[in-house]
Structure 1
Amino acid sequence: MQSLSLATAAWRFRDCSTKSWLTASVPGCVHTDLLAAGKIPDPFWGVNETGLQWIEERDWEYKTTFTVSAALLAEETVELIADGLDTVATVTLNGEEIARTENMFISFRWDVKSLLRVGKNELVVRFGSAMAYIRSHRTDHAPREINDPVGGCTRIRKQQCQFGWDWGPRFVTAGIWRDIRLEAWSANRLESVRVSQTHATDGSVTLALAPELTRADTKATTRWKLALGEVTVASGTGTVIVVKNPQLWWPSGQGEQPLYRLEVTVAAADGSPIGHWQKRIGLRTIALDRHKDQWGESFQFLVNGRAIFAKGANWIPAHTFVTTLDRERYARDLRAAVAANMNMVRVWGGGIYESEDFYDLCDELGLLVWQDFMFGCTMYPGDDTFVASVEAEAVSNIKRLRHRASLALWCGNNEVWAINCHDLVKPEFAAYRRAYDRVFHEALPPIVADHDGATPYWPASPWRGDTAADHPSGEIRGDTHYWDVWHARHAVKDYEKWSFRFVSEFGMQSYSSPATNATFCPPDDNNVFGPVMENHQKNRAGNQIILDYVSRRYRFPKGQDELIYLSQLNQAYCMQTGVEHYRRLMPRCMGALYWQLNDCWPVASWSSIEFTGRWKALQYLSRRFFAPALVSAHIPGDEGAIIGNYRTSTVREVHLHTSYDAPVAVTGVLRWNVFHLDGRSLLQGKKTVALTPGESAKQQTLDLETLLEKHSRDSLYVRFALEVSGKTVSEDTAFLTPPRFLALPKAKKTAAVIKITSPKSAELTFKSPVFQHRFAFDFAGVDFHATDNFFELYPNESKRVTVTFDKPVTLARLKKTLAHHSLADTY
């Protein structure tokens, strides 16, 4: 087979209402091309987003010329392959129309040999306005809108969050967003290879190869080679491979991630080559285990037969303009996920089926992928044309991703059922219900079975059956999105009210750091309630809800930077409360995926990693509450207020629990202390504890009744830690009242020693004479990553942190730019 890249050709584009042609990039999109040409301002800066909505109303045309050789045209078949056209495209080759498309997620292939000529050829792709398409197609489909402020985005198979979401801007773009090329071949072509694994009780793994040819050929010969690194494990002829001593692939934290290189070559009976296929695969089994148990029905992932507690977060497109994404950008956030002890990411259904770079990294890093199909929140059509397009989309992406070691689940949609279920059961919504069932219960399941066959399918997230959308049912079966905390403004302790089986969404917003905000907002207009910051807060009630939760827990801040810090502390506290509760429920609950890991632009959102790559407090705390060996405090009771705003409290005890999900049992030592804020130790103890894989246990109850009779709860804190092999692996502080009531001491001076260890790394040591809660440090104008931040600084104990920098640094610069503070410094 011969291939000719068209992405590397010289492309031009134009607004079809003009005759002016500009230089284009392929892959790319209209917005990035306009920006590169200097025709629009930075879409992320200020309120520029609102002034760029005209782009979605225009038609755009891309064209290029390329040279075809006589050798390429000598092949029997020459095909034009477009891996991604966004979205309403008319494709013309040498003046002849060859196709019209209306699905962004399909890889198209057209036979174009008869239209090509030796020498110069011209290819034109005209993109019609997506908005014009929406206004003229499926106009009777008008469901309640959830996230699209204009309406109609579900009528078209296009990245849904382009139309706006409650964390993302509205940039309805167009363009050739993935690779485009010519492929020429004769006689036959190897399209793909389906690989099935059978794991025997003796430990061996049998791989069954099913080559998929464009033209059936029962006499074709299959040759294969399996290698691990530079070592060839086996090679041979046929469609069965037996690996006698396999190295199994495991999720992060459960083992290693060996990836075998599988090469398959298919030849015709006369020996002429049909095709070559090469992929990296992991030898493993993944199953969604739903067996009857004492609580109802389990919902857990089994990898190589081992139950895995899914620890992770939801993934949205890592850039508003997805064509800008490359391996380095994906790696930044996915490596951060693994650094925070995560083992799963959920690719959310309002974005895109991600690129090969994304899945390569997940395979390498051991991040299981919960893969939504691209449907989110609002009800979708179910007409024949729409369903046929969805089926083609599913086949295209299943075949592309089914070999992935990290692929754990195909999920039909995000929240379409959960948000609309109360309508979908009504007679007047029968047509919408029929459309829903047709797509998610009739079309997708057999396609997953036919073209994958190994990866489980789940019809929706959340899903507990078509009559169960309430919280009690989530305690029995299925997965849950729990949003009473945040959207309903329930108390954070409400996380502890429910014993869900698997929680695939829950979250709390915070503001991005002042450094990230400065990338889109001028210093004189950066008020969080001002027009610029409001434009970068896409949840209508977002600011009010942030302030609500912050005010319940913290004192009024002395400035906006302190408010930002408090919003991040609150977000981290909320997610910590939820995750630790879900881990304490193990094995009843077997997953906690918070919303969300990343951002698509600089914004106030639920993310733990800012658009610039800076870690919020949540990302640092994730490393702690997702740690393999965790000690957490459960404090029964609560504090409230009665008439007259007099405080009341039912807090008397602290329960210390261990949660453990590493694969090998160990013995640990649990330690606890109750301190007065003046530094006195009032109670201490320790206990040897057994840590068993997959188990959570209440190890100790601290009865504080006597201490509370002698000391105000406003002056106490509980320090607890878990040691394994003499090393502290988990540690934190618990308060007996909201920290706004604590008389936290302020450090007159915190010792900070900086030691340069290389041109791009340093070691920091902090020491304080008093307790400092969620001590955080920063370097003004310096990009860095730290092994820890937002930590507890205990009196007269040194805390050592390793910091790496994107660029070489000097000791003088670090001393000049270092700043630090803790909770007590915010008021």
Structure 2
Amino acid sequence: MFYKFFKYFLVFLCLSACCENESNQYEQTIDEHWTFKNVEDVGWLPATVPGSVHTDLITNKIIEDPFYRINEDTLQWIDKKDWEYRKTFTIPNNILEKEHVQLHFEGLDTYANIYLNDSLVLKANNMFLGWQVPCKPLLKEGVNVLRIVLESPIKIGLKKRERLGYELPNAVNDQSEKGGVGKKQVAVFSRKPGYHFGWDWGPRLVTSGIWKQVKVVAWDTAKLTDVFIHQKKLDETEASLIAEIEIKASKDFQADIEILIDSTRKINKEITLKKGVNNLEIPITIHSPELWWTNGLGNQKLYTIETIIKENNTIIDAVSKRVGLRTIEVIQKKDDLGKSFYFELNGAPVFMKGANYIPQDVFLNRVSKADYERIIKAAVESNFNMIRVWGGGIYEKDIFYDLCDAYGILVWQDFMFACAMYPGNDAFLDNVKKEAEYNVKRLRQHPSIALWCGDNEILTAWNNWGWIDQVTKSQGEAVKNRIWKAYEDVFHDILPNTVNKYDRDRLYWSSSPSSGFGTLDSLTAGDYHYWKVWSNKEPFSKYNEVIPRFMSEYGFQSFPEFESVKKYTEEQDWDIYSEVMKSHQRSSVGNENIEYYMLQNYKKPKDFESFLYVGQLLQAKGITTAIEAHRRNMPYCMGSLYWQFNDCWPAASWSSMDYYGNWKALQYGVKEAFKPTSVIPFQKGDSLEVYVVSDELKNQNAILSLKALDFNGKVLFNEEKVISIKSNSSTLYFSEDISNIVKKKLLKKSLIHIELIGEENTEIDDNVFYFTEPKDLKLTNPNVSFNCIKKDDTTFEITMNSNILAKNVCLRSDVKGRFSQNFKDILPAKNYKILFYSEGKDITIDAFKNSLKIMSLFDSF
């Protein structure tokens, strides 16, 4: 805590010194007292910046909540209008005397014409870029007026589509018909998030706005325009780094460069700066470096390296970077079965555990720092070590990557292209080149960035989804070739060359899924997306058969919990086939598929609330089956990233956490399935096999205990064995014919409880195995009892037990907070301790206990 305070104190001192001296830096954020209007209107309304047109319309009560019931349908007019934002501001008089004054726009959505005092200074056309505009000649003493006219992305998109002269194939995630423009999809023509135009888990709400901060920045003499701490060599004894520094100077002069490492070590260098852009390299050596590790494998040491320019001992500019020292490689070596694909961190192979991440809201300004902290902490608690930032969303805000750095979550970073072919004209390609350079340079310092991936599913779609034939038959061979050339220009030229130039030590992976650069996906090489469970109604058991080298996408849907559904529905909507529930389900086969799989695995739920509960159990059952299969098959398979972690609105989807941040059964399930050391039972034919999987980097000794029990707790089989768990491995430790464990007539009313006991009798992991599907289990009504104590101001401990098996016990509370475990099987005569983390401090034990609701699978039918 002191370290963090001290770092910010140093930065404060630097900035204070700058503000006191006329020759130094000045920065003013312009974020208050904006107004906005439809350009066709006369009256102005209050606006929020950063923000969006939709959220400003909501705040001013012009429109209703777009997420409530089917309000979305009535709001499609918004994206066809042009909107104007206005702000008057003053800056201190002495700032006008500075040599350079700029307006910085960190994010504009998307087609923005910027006027300063009625002079056009910028025409922005890319939501993923930051913009810097020299403005000194146009500024004046006193009041200045800044206007931003946001042109309709739909109207511009339609013009670009018409000018292109041919059709681009896409996966029809762009819900253009809902938007009132027929089958004229326009998402690919704008460098803006694809999911804003709709997806099979999201609404169509095409935003405009000023989505990041606006600043006035002024400086004299020189400015640090880029600092990159490039790691050249790393071993146990020494880290060799190069500070690659870009300085823009307004004159020739002698300067001092000072580099501080964790505020304790200083490097000084005298240099001569020439007027214009100067590039220099300064070597840095750190002895006995502390390495950066992923969650679960070690600490996340981040060195603070500050670069300071001085003239005559006066600070001109300073930049601070947080640097994690680690090596990361994607190992692709030929073997007897194909080619490996795994991440090696600091020389150790690491099985990647995590999920695909989408933006947390359609309206990005509503995602707070607390929201980012909550979701990354959920990833950490769920034993993730990787998140894939998917290509139909955004290059996330800096805070996202800062948190991944701090908590040890690696990022598979897609460029923002997904499920469609894109234009190839010069203006589009030039825009993409600027976008790629800007974001690679912005994010490359983060140790959490594991690789750069060109696109999501485009290579697969072009070759396997019928697009080649579709284009050739309808538009001819020449158009087909032109579309493919555009693909190669972006994904085989611009993007790899950008990564190679600005972040040369990281892998560029051209498309996900694929087995190599420009090569189609395969189970024996590269990464893989598997969707036949869900799309083709293959059974969950197929997850045990389809094992790739790295599974970067697979998934199964569920609904949010009942309390979440209540927030966007009315009682009349409480049927999965009601108009509202279908509207909040964007997969064309979604609700039907959930019901189909449910009846294959579970008894028909008795009511709507029970259906939501069982649907979550179903999702957890499917995905944890896949996770266990992937981990069981390491090192052949070395990654499992399910689809998807979160939601951008309240809906049925593949998420493990709903839009409101509530953990579904799946999130609790993956927390268990991704434990560093896991015991995994698996039925192979007539035999029961038990594997132990370890991500640990050292061996450990344990006791493996197996007990077969009937649902009343009677022991039918008992075996213990001392085992040595190999580091970073999956090992089979038990195999026995099921008939030697439990008699056939007892299979529907018995289970096997497997425990892994470590030193001092501590439980490393446990798992429960059933011999049949949940619908065939002979469950009876359990008597679940519990007691509560208050551990501290925000934490309650619940002790639970049951007289007989209580399957999938779900705890709910009206108190805002979260349980440490949920949806657990409570075995007879065994005590379970579960924590509840309250978001409030003034909750009494009685109030909390009275708020608790308990439901088990038996209660659902």
Partners of 1:361 and 1:528 in 2: CA distance? 37
> Is 2:264 the partner of 1:232?
yes
SS at match of 2:361: coil
- The answer on whether the counterparts of 1:192 and 1:211 sit within 8 Å (CA) in structure 2 is yes
Counterpart amino acid of 1:186?
A: D
Partners of 2:329 and 2:515 in 1: CA distance? 18
Counterpart amino acid of 1:737?
A: T
- The answer on whether the counterparts of 1:314 and 1:594 sit within 8 Å (CA) in structure 2 is yes
Task: Give the Å deviation of 1:264.
Answer: 0.4
Q: How does 1:557-568 map to 2 (within 5 A)?
A: 557-568=605-616
Q: Paired residue for 1:279, among 306, 309, 321? A: 321
Partners of 2:513 and 2:376 in 1: CA distance? 24
Counterpart amino acid of 1:789?
A: N
Summarize the Cα distance change of 1:465–1:454 in structure 2 as closer, same or farther, 3 Å threshold.
closer
1:60 matched residue in structure 2: 83
Q: How does 1:725-740 map to 2 (within 5 A)?
A: 725=759, 726-740=761-775
Partners of 1:141 and 1:693 in 2: CA distance? 56
Q: Paired residue for 1:145, among 156, 163, 170? A: 170
> Is 2:816 the partner of 1:776?
no
* Matched residue count: 804
Partners of 1:141 and 1:566 in 2: CA distance? 47
Summarize the Cα distance change of 1:243–1:762 in structure 2 as closer, same or farther, 3 Å threshold.
same
Moved more, 488-497 or 451-460: 451-460
CA deviation vs aligned residue, 1:226-271 (integer Å, no higher than 9, x gap): 10xxx62454437111111211110000100111111001346x77
1:83 matched residue in structure 2: 106
> Is 2:676 the partner of 1:628?
yes
Partners of 1:141 and 1:516 in 2: CA distance? 44
Task: Give the Å deviation of 1:130.
Answer: 0.5
Counterpart amino acid of 1:223?
A: E
Counterpart amino acid of 2:264?
A: T
Q: Paired residue for 1:262, among 299, 305, 318? A: 305
Moved more, 199-208 or 799-808: 199-208
Partners of 2:109 and 2:257 in 1: CA distance? 37
Task: Give the Å deviation of 1:215.
Answer: 5.3
> Is 2:380 the partner of 1:338?
yes
1:760 matched residue in structure 2: 794
2:181 matched residue in structure 1: none
If the length of structure 2 is used for normalisation, what is the TM-score?
Answer: 0.91
Task: Give the Å deviation of 1:804.
Answer: 1.4
2:577 matched residue in structure 1: 529
2:206 matched residue in structure 1: 172
SS at match of 1:114: helix
Counterpart amino acid of 1:520?
A: Y
Task: Give the Å deviation of 1:707.
Answer: 5.2
SS at match of 2:766: strand
Summarize the Cα distance change of 1:752–1:342 in structure 2 as closer, same or farther, 3 Å threshold.
same
Partners of 2:98 and 2:534 in 1: CA distance? 61
- Say what the alpha-carbon RMSD is for the aligned residues: 1.9
Task: Give the Å deviation of 1:165.
Answer: 0.9
Partners of 1:420 and 1:400 in 2: CA distance? 31
2:654 matched residue in structure 1: 606
CA deviation vs aligned residue, 1:160-211 (integer Å, no higher than 9, x gap): 1111111111111111111111112234321111211133445210110110
1:643 matched residue in structure 2: none
- The answer on whether the counterparts of 2:561 and 2:613 sit within 8 Å (CA) in structure 1 is yes
Counterpart amino acid of 1:76?
A: E
Task: Give the Å deviation of 1:294.
Answer: 3.1
Moved more, 64-73 or 444-453: 64-73
Partners of 2:128 and 2:138 in 1: CA distance? 26
Partners of 2:238 and 2:336 in 1: CA distance? 34
- The answer on whether the counterparts of 2:713 and 2:827 sit within 8 Å (CA) in structure 1 is no
- The answer on whether the counterparts of 1:667 and 1:691 sit within 8 Å (CA) in structure 2 is yes
- The answer on whether the counterparts of 2:49 and 2:213 sit within 8 Å (CA) in structure 1 is yes
Counterpart amino acid of 2:175?
A: P
Q: How does 1:421-460 map to 2 (within 5 A)?
A: 421-422=463-464, 423=466, 428=477, 429-460=480-511
SS at match of 1:569: helix
- The answer on whether the counterparts of 2:712 and 2:803 sit within 8 Å (CA) in structure 1 is no
Counterpart amino acid of 2:824?
A: F
If the length of structure 1 is used for normalisation, what is the TM-score?
Answer: 0.94
Partners of 1:584 and 1:54 in 2: CA distance? 51
Summarize the Cα distance change of 1:274–1:433 in structure 2 as closer, same or farther, 3 Å threshold.
farther
Partners of 1:351 and 1:158 in 2: CA distance? 8
User: Which 5+ residue runs of structure 1 have no aligned equivalent?
Assistant: 638-651
Q: Paired residue for 2:725, among 663, 686, 691? A: 691
> Is 2:747 the partner of 1:713?
yes
Partners of 2:655 and 2:621 in 1: CA distance? 14
Q: How does 1:302-313 map to 2 (within 5 A)?
A: 302-313=344-355
1:517 matched residue in structure 2: 565
1:787 matched residue in structure 2: 820
> Is 2:423 the partner of 1:381?
yes
Counterpart amino acid of 1:799?
A: Y
Partners of 1:233 and 1:701 in 2: CA distance? 58
CA deviation vs aligned residue, 1:65-110 (integer Å, no higher than 9, x gap): 1113332121222111111110011111111111111110011111
What fraction of aligned residue pairs are identical, expressed as a percent?
35
Partners of 1:58 and 1:201 in 2: CA distance? 57
Q: Paired residue for 1:358, among 388, 400, 409? A: 400
Partners of 2:119 and 2:511 in 1: CA distance? 42
- The answer on whether the counterparts of 2:453 and 2:511 sit within 8 Å (CA) in structure 1 is yes
Partners of 1:289 and 1:234 in 2: CA distance? 37
> Is 2:650 the partner of 1:617?
no
Partners of 1:599 and 1:289 in 2: CA distance? 32
- The answer on whether the counterparts of 1:9 and 1:65 sit within 8 Å (CA) in structure 2 is no
2:20 matched residue in structure 1: none
- The answer on whether the counterparts of 1:664 and 1:692 sit within 8 Å (CA) in structure 2 is yes
Q: How does 1:658-673 map to 2 (within 5 A)?
A: 658-673=692-707
